Amino acid sequence: MSTHAIGAARRLPVSVTELVRGAVGGIAAGMAFAGATMWFMTSIGKPADTPLLMISTLVKGDAAMMNGTASVPVGLVLHMVLSMAFGMAFAVLTARVRTNGALAVAGLAWGGVLYVLNFQFLARTAFPTFSMANQPFELVAHLVFGVLLTLALYNSGARKGDAVAAKP
């Protein structure tokens, strides 16, 4: 086996730069997501910190909301860590996407996948606290998360498959 083949086998499917962009995009999209969700809670007469308290139940247990041990700091840190991880996973999954338009569609799909995983699967099987959330709002918020995430991964120049306009 040649040295070139060994080096190629060890290469990540995505560059470190793309992973960092995915992490930063995930955090930024997660902050927007958290802000919108907190605003939504206040618009329906609930405390703004409710979403962060709910998220902390992933660590503190489902009973934490009822017994008063849910924690805003735990929820905030967990939400940002998950947002960063989801951003990095998206960067890996879309490393070979050829156009910015296809990346935007992939981001929308990624938001939908996260909604289904978090609210239709995990909430129903392991975390009943999340079934109390407003499902239509959560779906839209997750779709927007996915689209915002793509902004961090857009290329300012042409991606591999984008048409390039002729320069005068």
Residues 113-144 pLDDT 10s: 999 999 999 988 988 888 889 999 999 999 99
Indicate the pTM of the whole model. 0.84
Dihedrals φ, ψ of 164, to 5°?
Answer: -110, 125
Beta carbons within 10 angstroms of residue 46's beta carbon: 12
Q: Is the pLDDT of residue 156 over 80?
A: no
Using only C-alpha atoms, the chain has a radius of gyration, in whole angstroms, of 19
Tens of pLDDT, residue by residue over 16-34, are 999 999 999 999 999 999 9
* Region for residue 61 given its phi and psi (left: phi exceeds 0; alpha: psi -120 to 50; beta: otherwise): left
* Region for residue 77 given its phi and psi (left: phi exceeds 0; alpha: psi -120 to 50; beta: otherwise): alpha
Residue 137: both structure tokens together: 């709002």
Tens of pLDDT, residue by residue over 36-70, are 999 999 999 999 999 999 999 999 998 998 899 99
CA quadruple 54, 58, 63, 67: dihedral sign: negative
Beta carbons within 10 angstroms of residue 117's beta carbon: 13
| Sequential DSSP letters for 131-156 | GGS-HHHHHHHHHHHHHHHHHHH--S
Asked whether the beta carbons of 48 and 42 are under 8 A apart, the reply is yes
